[in-house]
């Protein structure tokens, strides 16, 4: 059972990673224009990588 000493922090860390990603997406205005984002992905003017 000692394995939970590692597993719980790992689970917690993964969750925190997700939360961090969510907070970043909210704070960088990524939910402001959901319609535009749906169309932008089809815009072919971007140069190839």
Partner 1 sequence: MSDLFLTSDPGCPSGLAPPETSLASDFSAFVRQKDGLNTITLSVRGTKCGGCLSKIERTLKALNGVQSARMNLSNGKLSITWVSPSDANQIAESVRALGYGVSAFSEDKTAQSVKSEERGLLISMGVAAFALANIMLLSVSVWGGHGEMGEDTRQALHAISGLIAFPVLGFSGRHFFKSAFTALRHGHANMDVPISLALVLAFGVSIWETATGGAHAYFDASVMLLFFLLIGRFLDARLRRQAHAAAHDLAALQNRSVQRQRSGGLIEAVRADAIAQGDIILLAAGERAVVDLKITDGVSGIDESLVTGESLPRIIGRGETLYAGSLNLDHPLQGQALGSTSDSLLSEIGAMLEAGEQKKARYRQIADKAVALYVPFVHATAALAFLAWLSLGASIHQAVLVAVSTLIITCPCALALAAPVAQVVAAGQLFRHGIYLRSGDALERLAEVDHLVLDKTGTLTLGTPALISEHGDELYLAAQLARASRHPLSRALVLAAGPGPLAERTTEHAGLGLEGYIDGKWFRLGAADWVGAPESEAIGGPSLWFAGEGTPPTHFRFEDQLHADAVQSLEALKQLGLDIEILSGDRRDAVAQVARRLSIQDWRATVTPNGKAARLEALQKAGKHVLMVGDGLNDAGALALAHASLAPGGAMDISQSASDAVYAGGLSSIRTVLSVSKRTKSLMLQNFGLAAAYNCIAVPIAVTGHVTPLIAAIAMSASSLIVTLNALRLNRRGSE
What is the Cα–Cα distance from 27 to 20, expressed in whole angstroms?
A: 11
Alpha-carbon gap, residue 22 to 14, rounded angstroms: 13
Please give the Cα distance from 19 to 47 (Å, whole number).
32
Q: Which of residues 20-39 bind partner 1 (CB under 8 A)?
A: 22-23, 26, 31-36, 38-39
Any contact of residue 48 with partner 1 (CB under 8 A)?
Answer: no
Would you say 36 or 48 has its CB closer to partner 1?
A: 36
Which residues form the interface with partner 1 (CB under 8 A)? 1, 8, 11-12, 15-16, 18-19, 22-23, 26, 31-36, 38-40, 42-43, 45
């Amino acid at each position: 059972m000692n394995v939970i000493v590692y597993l719980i922090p790992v689970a917690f860390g993964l969750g925190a990673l997700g939360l961090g990603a969510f907070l970043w997406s909210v704070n960088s205005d990524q939910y402001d224009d959901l319609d535009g984002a749906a169309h932008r992905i089809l815009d072919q003017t971007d140069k190839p990588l």
